[in-house]
Amino acid sequence: MSGERIAIIGMGLRYPDANSPDELWENVLAGRRAFRRIPDERMNRADYWSADPATPDRHYSTKAAVLRDFTFDRVKYKVAGSTYRSTDLTHWLALDVAARALVDAGFPGGDGLPRRSTGVVLGNSLTGEFSRANLMRLRWPYVRRTVAAALATRGWDAEETGAFLAELEPRYKAPFPPIDEDTLAGGLANTIAGRICNYFDLGGGGFTVDGACSSSLLSIATAARTLADGDADVMLAGGVDLSIDPFEVIGFAKTGALATGEMKVYDRDSNGFWPGEGSGLLVLMREDDARTRGARIYASITGWGVSSDGKGAITRPEASGHRLALARAYGRAGYGVETVSYFEGHGTGTALGDATEIEALSAARRDADPTARPAALGTIKGNVGHTKAAAGVAGLIKATLAVHHEVIPPATGHHDPHPLLLDAAAAMYVPRDAELWPADQPIRAGVSAMGFGGINTHVAIEQAPDRQRRTVLADRTTALVAGRQDAELLLLDGPDPSRLRDRVTQLIGLVPKLAFAELADLAGTLAAELTGGPVRAAIVASSPDDAQAKLARLAALLDAGSDHVIGVRDGIFLAHRPTRPKIAYLFPGQGSGRGAVGAIRRRFAVAESTFRAADLAAGGDQVATDVAQPRIVTGSLAAIRVLRRLGIDADIAVGHSLGELTALAWGGALDGTRLTRLAKVRGQVMATASRGGGAMAGLAAGPATTTQLISG
């Protein structure tokens, strides 16, 4: 136990929808999910998919988070074309990400590094899908014999068969590069780290570790230990994984690990994961050395622990094994697991995996201090899927950014809490909003990873020294979190039904290719393209698949000549209105709502300020008269203000019962302050009067008579 702190001074990454730490952090805050239908270019649906999990050699899940914008600049890196083609893309992705990490750490191109004492440890399993595919070239003899035998049973003679196979061979081999002097090194996992050392001329050692889905976090622990032991002065560590191919996807499907529906994490309905891919690398130094150099320190690694599950199953996690890794990590860190406020979990979304992880963390914290407040729990997999050998470092980057920004981020891919999180003695919770670190606790986080074979890794991190404590959330953080929503509004218009139908046809071809996050981008693009045409349509969609189905329904309505559809339940709206329609508001009475905050308050600052100004009771029975009436009126007032900000107002308004007060305010008879004060008084009076068996009376009178009656 050296007690040596290891500083994280640089980060580089390429994950779906994120090419930098800033992009990843903003995606986390905004809840962007990079999942899309698995492209046929990667795994042809007709060849490999089946809805029946029992179908041999097929998978049942349809979604993944894939890299779609990575191109390697081989000219910049001075890589020959033949070498590039013979080498698995994981090598080039890792090299590019390593270069990004060094730039971020202040070593552009490796300049300034102590090259003789800088090493690389990289997590990877099975190299990548491209080298696996390229091995098919060397399987030609087997294919040739198999085809020849099949043709012989059909009566083909040797001459016919030979001519056919001679024609087939070049077509079969065409997609795969010829085997040359670069092929072996380009298809091995251990040379990925060596390639980084080679390019930057590093002499501190370079090798790959394989702990399955724990690989990249295991590489961090290995690098930290190397620095603590004094065997290197700078280390690059992380992982790379490009393996969305039949071997891994179908393999995971046969273990039951892939999601059968939407991927949900730490959820009552956890049902498996959607795969992802990418790479992340960190630049590490001993903290004292980093401070002497004047380097920016994102956070410091204080402890790490590695364990195995012993006689536990090879492919299923064990809580006891994970707890052993926790004990070793915090024993090295020198502080207790109960002092950690945020955990970035492995979080695969499998029913067993989520339960095992929650149980292990909760039990460890309860044993350390039964009175400790619950800690937050999240996972990056809700955003980018399970990136396998690159998963642990993705979680560490997220946790490091959380510590750096001093913000506990809200979870993504979590809807209803897992039953273990609802227990009265629960030691963990999944945050739904951005939070500051508890003021009475240090800014510490823990990151977990688990892999096939029963390998567990946990890394403890803490805020960099001498940082001034944040006391309020940044405006940018608040705005990004406020933008989270579970559906998007796709707006369309045109000069006539035919032109609108053409636009719908274009979108039907586009939306199946979009990621969940890109549906929000599409909504923004469509809104900006509105022309004010008289034929208008709107779709409320929760996913690209949902959007595709509803756009197809809209197309059918247009083909049938429909010109007016208000499908509130279906989320489909269509109208042909040359002029602006009249709008009426109906403001609700006391029977409305159950006290939920609602998306409007989270999404719009004017709504939040309206609620804050009303100073409503936070607790109590939210449907009780004295609590409900001011709450409902405040909600209506907030809605009026939001709609006005969006350029929408009514021509007429009416109110039901309590809603009459809101209608008066909408008409200008009351301002917001008087409205909420009157609603509070009304609610209190009615709550008190009802205890005596009182009744409500209706007054039908003109203004003069009413004024006379209420004057005493």
Catalytic residues: 213, 346, 386
**Rounded (to 5) percent helix, strand, coil in the chain:** 45, 15, 40
Q: Which of 15, 101, 99 is nearest to 296 (CA)?
A: 101
Q: How far apart are the first and last CA of the chain?
A: 82
**Would strands 63-64 and 118-123 be described as parallel, antiparallel, or unpaired?**
unpaired
CA distance 148 to 169: 12
Q: Alpha carbon 357 to chain centroid distance?
A: 19
CA distance 212 to 123: 8
Asked if residues 679 and 658 have their Cβ atoms less than 8 Å apart, the reply is yes
Rounded to 10 degrees, what is the CA torsion of 198, 204, 210, 211? -150
Q: Which residue has tokens 């730039």?
A: 103
Q: Which residue has tokens 């800014």?
A: 443
Question: Around Cβ 485, how many Cβ atoms within 10 Å?
Answer: 14
φ, ψ of residue 332 in degrees (nearest 5): -70, -35
Asked if residues 406 and 452 have their Cβ atoms less than 8 Å apart, the reply is no
Tell me the CA distances in angstroms from 619 to 353, 434, 529, 595, 637, one per residue in order: 35, 21, 45, 10, 21
Q: Please, which residues have CB within 8 angstroms of residue 71's CB and are 6 or more apart in sequence?
A: none
Q: Alpha helices of 493-594 — where are they, by DSSP H?
A: 497-510, 516-528, 544-559
State which H helix or E strand residue 682 sits in.
helix 672-689
Q: Which of 229, 249, 226, 246 is nearest to 237 (CA)?
A: 226
- Joined together, the tokens standing for residue 283 give 């630049």
- Joined together, the tokens standing for residue 428 give 């963990």
Asked if residues 218 and 190 have their Cβ atoms less than 8 Å apart, the reply is no
CA distance 379 to 411: 7
Tell me the CA distances in angstroms from 156 to 45, 99, 150, 172, 227, one per residue in order: 33, 57, 9, 20, 67
Asked if residues 246 and 397 have their Cβ atoms less than 8 Å apart, the reply is no
Q: Which residue has tokens 């990289």?
A: 122
CA distance 243 to 158: 40
Q: Taking phi first (over 0 means left), then psi (-120 to 50 degrees means alpha), and beta for anything else, what does residue 4 get?
A: beta
- The 3 state secondary structure assigned to 14-37 is EECCECCHHHHHHHHHHCCCCCEE
- Joined together, the tokens standing for residue 85 give 């083609």
